[in-house]
Amino acid sequence: MRTRSFNEEDSGILYLVATPIGNLSDITLRALEILKSVDKIYAEDTRTSGVLLSHYGIKTKLESYHNFNQDEKTLDVVREIRNGMKIALISDAGLPVISDPGYKIVAKAREEGLRVSTIPGASAGISALIASGIAPMPYTFYGFLDSKSSKRKEELKDLKYLKSTLIFYEAPHRIHETLSDMEEILGDRYCCLARELTKTYEEFITGAISSINKEEYKGEMVVIVEGYKEDNTLVDDPNKKIDEMISLGYKPNDAIKEVAKMFNLDRKELYKNYTFYKNNRGE
Ligand code: SAM
């Protein structure tokens, strides 16, 4: 099936409109025009979106569409588009559908051959990725891991051998345990915690997972984790073994030599990895 977003006929359409992820100015001119001109806006939280809309003097009718009413609302929204209405869907922040409701409407509208158009803009994951300094491609966007540690670890096991950079969303009250699970399952990889993007306290914390998991972080955050490499997962145990041997009185070079033999690793490579590990654990 082919559906053109911009055609002569005045049929209904669903616009997926990006809104700011913090800084109210991060919205496109086209997004504002569309939000002003559509028949109705569906928002995840009408109070949150009300603030944005009144900031830009937009008085379009606003209705809620969220995780708890999406099954029944999907049919209403699709019926409205079918009847010729122009509808915009927004979420509390960034792109609707991305770790936010909306997928069901889009899938149903596509199934019915209705027009769906995307109005791009900010999204926290991609914004964090490009500023992280970690290989941007290929990447796997995962969003939120499960809130229960046992399920989260299972999810991480499935991701462990992916070579692509991993993008996660996490809430501040869970970041400590999530980073601990990541260290345990993925190994002590290089990562970047990007918090409060586009806001006054925007900050990027980089280093080995263990090194950044030493303090409390507040606000909204994205975690970008380096993908699987033979060395970044393998070094996890050898590095700890080297630390252990140094603490037992070995000279660093002797410990590296011994551990290289123990794990059947190239001594020079292990030396390089251990130096990186040491420099990035924030001691
Ligand atoms: N739809 C949004 C998008 O396109 O990025 C994501 C919505 S999801 C429900 C909310 C999560 O996105 C937050 O818990 C946080 O992980 C991330 N996030 C949103 N805004 C952020 C910001 N300004 N800085 C860092 N992370 C942010």
Q: Which region among 30-34, 59-63, 65-69, 230-234 has the lowest average model confidence (pLDDT)? A: 230-234
Which domains are delineated in the chain? 13-122 (3.40.1010.10), 125-225 (3.30.950.10), 238-279 (no CATH)
| Cα–Cα distance for residue pair 274/256, rounded to 1 Å | 8
Mean pLDDT of 67-73: 86
DSSP alpha helices (H): ranges in 121-199? 124-132, 149-159, 175-186
- Residue 20 CB less than 6 A away from ligand 1: no
Q: Is a pLDDT exceeding 50 seen at residue 234?
A: no
Q: Is a pLDDT exceeding 60 seen at residue 37?
A: yes
What atom in ligand 1 is closest to the CA of residue 96? 1
CA of 70 to the centre of ligand 1 (A): 20
pLDDT in tens, 117-126: 999 999 999 9
CA of 124 to the centre of ligand 1 (A): 5
Mean pLDDT of 170-191: 95
Q: Can you give the pLDDT at residue 236?
A: 56
Mean pLDDT of 82-95: 97
pLDDT in tens, 20-35: 999 999 999 999 999 9
Q: Can you give the pLDDT at residue 86?
A: 97
Mean of all residue pLDDT scores within the chain = 92
Q: Which region among 179-183, 191-195, 243-247 has the lowest average model confidence (pLDDT)? A: 243-247
| Cα–Cα distance for residue pair 266/263, rounded to 1 Å | 9
Q: Is a pLDDT exceeding 80 seen at residue 112?
A: yes
Q: Can you give the pLDDT at residue 247?
A: 75
Is 278 buried (19+), middle (13-18) or exposed (0-12) by CB count in 10 A?
Answer: middle
Q: Is a pLDDT exceeding 90 seen at residue 278?
A: no
Q: Is a pLDDT exceeding 50 seen at residue 235?
A: no
Q: Is a pLDDT exceeding 80 seen at residue 83?
A: yes
Confidence tier at 167 by pLDDT (50, 70, 90): very high
CA of 169 to the centre of ligand 1 (A): 7
User: Percent of the chain having pLDDT more than 90?
Assistant: 75
User: pTM of this prediction?
Assistant: 0.83
Pocket-testing residue among 89, 91, 99, ligand 1, by greatest number of atoms within 8 A of Cβ = 99
Between 49 and 238, the more confident residue is 49
Tokens representing residue 69 in the block: 């009413």
Confidence tier at 1 by pLDDT (50, 70, 90): confident
Phi-psi region of 270 (alpha: psi -120 to 50; beta: other; left: phi over 0): alpha
Q: SS3 helix, strand, coil % of the chain, rounded to 5?
A: 45, 20, 40
pLDDT in tens, 148-160: 999 999 999 999 9
Pocket-testing residue among 16, 19, 21, ligand 1, by greatest number of atoms within 8 A of Cβ = 21
Confidence tier at 283 by pLDDT (50, 70, 90): low
Nearest CA, atom 8, ligand 1 = 99
| Cα–Cα distance for residue pair 247/251, rounded to 1 Å | 9
Nearest alpha carbon to residue 99 among 57, 137, 142, 56 = 142
Between 250 and 200, the more confident residue is 200
